[in-house]
Structure 1
Amino acid sequence: MKTKIIFAAAISWMIGANAVQAQASDCATKASIAYEHAKVKNYEAAEKPLMEIRKECPTHSLATYQYLIKVLEAKYKKAATDTEKLGIANELINVWKERYQYFPAKTESGDLHSEIGQIMYDNKIGSKEEEYEEFLIGWKEDKDHFNNPKSVYTFFSLLVDLQAEGKKDIQEVFSLYDEVIEKIEKEENEKAKVVSELTEKEESGVALSSKEKKNLSRYGKILTNYSKVKGGVNQKLGELADCKNLIPLYQGQFESKKSDVSWLKGAAGRMSAKECTDDPLFFKLVEALNTAEPSAKTTYYLGLLAMKDKSTSKALEYFNKSAELETKASDKAKVYFKIAELIRKQGSYGKAKGYYNKALNYKPSMGVAYLRIAAMMAASANNCGTDVFSKRAVYWLAENYANKAGKVDPGLAKTASATAANYRAKAPSKTDIFNNPEKKSVTIGCWIGETVRVPSL
């Protein structure tokens, strides 16, 4: 009897094992077909087998969900009605959730929740509060992978709308604004550093590899998108952060908050950013903050106050000290730029260039620093060349700097392009180049100290 039972159990196990193997084999076959269709963007043919794999063997491969998301996104774009779009949107949300369910280690929280939040927002799924909360989860859990520029803007925009409806506090808006701008600038700096390096390589006459060309193009597009988002975020914040609103808001809070270091930093920082430094309240904030916690920021603010009193040497002393103390790269760049501006206005171009370059080292996306250097070079053309050709060659160098400004900061693209065209018109003509065939490059003297390649005819 026992032998029969054991034999029956063995047969049952074998049948089950064979069934599992058969299903796995069937899934592998379907996956191979579906993935090949998806790779060549034949999404209509890929959809049915992908859906079957998703249902029958959800843990087969992460690729099932990656391709299925692309299939549904393409289908969404072709949808003719809002009802059809809503159905696809809900399916997309489900696929994202299933991806996280079965492949949590390969699904970033910031990516997951920002994507779902954007789908909800675009299709009016849930209330504003629910849409905002979805974004907030991804932002809090995994800001590093919350990388879609559109989603960054939507997230902030929702909070501003909720504040306008009386559902969120204005301080929450200011806090998120600071975080969003920091995030945007971090992304900009990473991409701008690569763009700057590849641009310099290209300008030197070295041909870029196909991969480098793709990166230059791709990162340029990302920088353009983030530039638009930054402009949109600032526009969305609008009058909420103007001096006429900030000053009465902080005046009303000052007495109860004057020992709150975090509040003092935020208030002083925002008034500084919005150039509300002429108001006596700014002095009170700086004084209180410097007493509570002397730092790079308070030293910088003291420099601003020294500028207000027209004490340039004292201001430079404070700013240099602030730059030494500052640990945050973007803020250190801001201080170095301020120093460069003061020195440039004093006519010390070489020294100013050094500080602009320091600013760029810490914030590669600071295109305005390139424009300033270009302007100083153009202004020095007659002084830094040894003959007519070399004097006019300075404008090629200025043009290069202007072009770079637009590449690392697309928000300056139009200004940079127009500026570069102006300098190009003043540089040696094709006739000049033809008449000086021996000149392959020109070394510019005085404070500039750089060599510029002569363009090929």
Structure 2
Amino acid sequence: MNTKVLFAIAAGLVLSTTNVSAQATDCATTASIAYEHAKVKNYDAAEEPLWKVRKECPTHSVATFQFGKKLLESKYKKAAAGEKTALANDMIALWKERLQYFPAKTKVGDMHSDIGQIMYDNKIGTKDSQFAEFDKAYKEDKTNFKRPKKLYTYFSLLVDLQSEGKKELQDVFTLYDDITEKIEDEESKKAKKIATLTEKEESGATLSSKEKRSLKNNGINLKAFSQVKGGINQKLGELADCKNLIPLYNGQFEGKKTDINWLKGAAGRMSAKECTEDPLFFRLVEALHKADPSAKSAYYLGILALKDKKTTKALEYFNQSAQLETKASDKAKVYFRIGEVMKKKGSYGKARSYYKKALANKPSLGTAYLRIASMVAKSANNCGADVFSKRAVYWLAANYANKGAKVDPSLKKTAAAAAANYKAKAPSKTDIFNNPGITSVKIGCWIGETVKVPKL
């Protein structure tokens, strides 16, 4: 090879390297300009350089797609109705490009559920294609599929497809159980944080600004999950009523009577909908206990014992169920049921201990707080030493009712009404003035708690 040829090749390599280096420098500069504008939400200035980086050097940084998403979301919020579909398609394209260039930094659950919601909101594609996005997100990355609105849309689409004959009723029940469990897990996490911070606040400690934000945000999110759970139950509607469950499960029983998961689901749904009077429920429980003696079968046997007014036997089954149960939310359900039995018997102290065990396993179970509040209020005359302390019992009842509202926003109105009723019966401002020096009241009998005198 002669010298001229070698020189030409070398020159070409140098030029190529120089061009690549220059392009990389240009990308970095353009990206820096775009990101700085996007950070302060100056999207008008950020748009041109950001899309230039996206087109010419998409692998430069995942930040291109992160800021691009925020930019498009901002435009979408401000856009007229006729402009939203085009922007929605832009967002879908952006998500797919991010997955293409940064698969390790893209959460499949977040991406596909986001795409599904965008499609649903803008009537893009069919219900089948919209559902497919949510289904992929949920089945492949359930952890990152947790936005309340998306969970509702996913379930709503399935119910719609079932009504069109494209999905089986059993598919609806299966997803309902799974999503409800996921929502309740999220509710418990948030309710636990709320309960912890509320107790700290009630003890007289000052919450930090970070803790105050956490208390507020967890309250907002808990309310959203509570609303979605209510929406999902409403969407399920009559599909899960006894009139549909009984013929469905009667038809499936012979072929499924050794399928433990099916038996658990069928018995659980019939129990939840109070279809326990039908002979099918006994057959389900009997088959379940035979196939897999467990916490679930013991619980259902307890229900049947209660039905036959065999309270002692029912409590034996319920306590056995609670000991065997490994799932926190189901353990809470068993403890709550025992609490209900004890409350009905008038054993308030035992009932409270079981309600509290239920709350320890499911902190969002606000109904348990309302039950305790009710028992405390009913015991005012028996547990107070004098007129003032007897009426002070109602402050404690009100405190329990308020706790119920904090951990379960769906109970807000009911809890507020109960708390107001209890406070009306508690000592007035004049009563407090006439009993100077009393800052707290120790309440006796089964209650055994001390309540602070509030500043009225």
Question: TM-score, normalised on structure 1?
Answer: 0.95
1:7 deviates by 4.5
Greater displacement, 17-26 / 420-429? 17-26
Question: What is residue 402 of structure 2 aligned with on the other side?
Answer: 403
Which residue in 2 is equivalent to 1:450? 449
Distance 1:88 1:381, change over 3 A: same
Deviates more, 1:366-375 or 1:102-111: 102-111
**SS of 1:125 mapped into structure 2:** coil
**How far, CA to CA, are the matches of 2:440 and 2:53 in structure 1?**
62
Distance 2:449 2:12 in 1: 82
Structure 2: distance between partners of 1:312 and 1:91: 63
Residue 437 of structure 1, CA deviation = 4.3
Q: Greater CA deviation, 34-43 or 210-219?
A: 34-43
AA matched with 1:402: A
Which digits, 9 at most, give the CA deviation of each residue in 1:288-326, with x for residues without a partner? 111111111111110000000011111111000000011
Amino acid in the other structure paired with 1:334: K
Partners of 1:268 and 1:180 in 2: CA distance: 18
Residue 39 of structure 2 aligns with which residue?
A: 39
Using a 3 Å threshold, how does the CA distance of structure 1 residues 11 and 399 change in structure 2: closer, same or farther?
A: farther
Offset at residue 4 of structure 1 (A)? 4.8
The secondary structure found in structure 2 opposite 1:96 is: helix
Q: 1:24 is aligned with what amino acid?
A: A
Matched, 1:315 2:317: no
Change (3 A) 1:7 1:251: same
Deviation at 1:444, TM superposition (A): 2.4
Give distance in 1, aligned partners of 2:6 and 2:392: 93
* Residues 283-298 of structure 1 aligned to structure 2 (within 5 Å): 283-298=282-297
Tell me which moved more, 106-115 or 62-71.
Answer: 62-71
Cα distance 1:120–1:377, how it changes in 2: closer, same or farther (>3 A)?
same
> In the alignment, what sits opposite 1:360?
359
Aligned twin of 1:276: 275
Describe how 1:20-31 pairs up with structure 2 within 5 A: 20-31=20-31
Hey, what does 2:12 align to over in structure 1? Answer: 12
1:232 aligned residue: 231
Find the aligned partners of 2:199 and 2:2 in 1 and give their Cα distance.
Answer: 82
Aligned residues: 456
When structure 1 is superposed on structure 2, of 96-105 and 323-332 the one drifting more is 96-105
Residue 7 to residue 256, structure 1, CA distance change in 2 (3 Å) = same
The range that moved more, 37-46 or 310-319, is 37-46
Q: Secondary structure at the match of 2:441?
A: strand
Tell me how far apart the structure 2 counterparts of residues 4 and 398 of structure 1 sit (CA, whole Å): 97
How far did residue 455 of structure 1 move?
2.3
Please say which of residues 158-167 and 70-79 is displaced more in the overlay. 70-79
Distance 1:96 1:276 in 2: 46
Comparing 138-147 with 97-106, greater Cα deviation is found at 97-106
State the one-letter code of the partner of 2:33: I
Query: Is 1:423 the counterpart of 2:434 in the alignment?
Result: no
User: Which ranges of structure 1 fall in alignment gaps of 5 or more residues?
Assistant: none
CA deviation profile, 1:334-379 (whole Å, cap 9, x unmatched): 0000000000111111111110011011111111011111111111
Deviation at 1:47, TM superposition (A): 2.1
Q: Which amino acid aligns with 2:343?
A: R
Q: Which amino acid aligns with 2:352?
A: K
Q: Which residue of 1 aligns with 2:128?
A: 129
Once the two structures are TM-superposed, the CA of residue 66 in structure 1 deviates from its matched residue by 1.5
1:164 aligns with 2:168: no
1:50-199 → structure 2 map (5 Å cutoff): 50-82=50-82, 84-199=83-198
Structure 1 CA distance, aligned partners of 2:286 and 2:20?
73
Give, in angstroms, the shift of residue 270 of structure 1. 0.9
Q: Distance in 2 between matches of 1:105 and 1:32?
A: 23
SS in 2 for 1:64: helix
The Cα of 1:8 is off from its aligned counterpart by 4.1
Shift in CA distance, 2/273, structure 1 to aligned 2, threshold 3 Å: farther
Superposition pairs for residues 244-263 of structure 1, below 5 Å? 244-263=243-262
Q: CA separation in 2, counterparts of 1:441 and 1:122?
A: 55
The answer as to 2:336 corresponding to 1:337 is yes
Letter in 2 for 1:52: K
Partner letter of residue 220 of structure 1?
A: G
In 2, Cα distance between equivalents of 1:12 and 1:237: 68
Q: Is the 8 A contact 1:368 1:405 kept in 2?
A: yes
Q: Which digits, 9 at most, give the CA deviation of each residue in 1:183-226, with x for residues without a partner?
A: 11011111111011111111112111111111111111111111
Give the distance between the partners of 2:363 and 2:439, measured in 1 at CA: 29
Q: By how many angstroms is 1:23 displaced?
A: 2.9
- Is contact 1:204-1:453 (8 Å) kept? no
Aligned amino acid, residue 47 of structure 1? E
CA change 1:389–1:50 in 2 (3 A) is farther
Aligned partners of 1:332 and 1:359 also within 8 Å: yes
Q: Deviations over 1:225-250 (max 9, x none)?
A: 11111111111111111001111121
Unaligned runs of 5+ in 2: none
1:243 aligns with 2:233: no
375-384 vs 20-29, greater mean Cα deviation: 20-29
SS of residue in 2 equivalent to 1:449: coil
Mean Cα displacement is larger for which, 133-142 or 440-449? 440-449
* Counterpart amino acid of residue 194 in structure 1: K
Distance apart, 1:2 and its partner CA: 5.4
SS at match of 1:452: strand
Q: Is 1:208 paired with 2:207?
A: yes
The letter of the residue matching 2:96 is K
Contact 1:337 1:369 in 2 (8 A): yes
What's the secondary structure of 1:415's corresponding residue? helix
The alignment's TM-score, normalised by the length of structure 2, stands at 0.96
Amino acid at match of 2:56: E
Q: Does the 8 Å CA contact 1:439/1:454 hold for their aligned counterparts?
A: yes
In structure 1, what is the Cα distance between the partners aligned to 2:2 and 2:428? 102
Q: Following the alignment from structure 2 to structure 1, what is the Cα–Cα distance between the partners of residues 452 and 105?
A: 47
The CA deviation at 1:428 is 2.4
- Give SS of 1:421's match: helix
SS in 2 for 1:223: helix
Residue 405 of structure 1 and its aligned partner are, at CA, apart by 1.0
Instruction: Check whether the contact 1:367–1:404 (CA below 8 A) recurs between aligned residues.
Output: yes
Q: Equivalents in 1 of 2:203, 2:228: separation in Å?
A: 32
**Does the residue aligned with 1:442 lie in a helix, a strand or coil?**
strand
> What amino acid maps onto 2:153 in structure 1?
T
Alignment RMSD (CA, Å) = 1.7
Secondary structure of 1:456's match?
coil
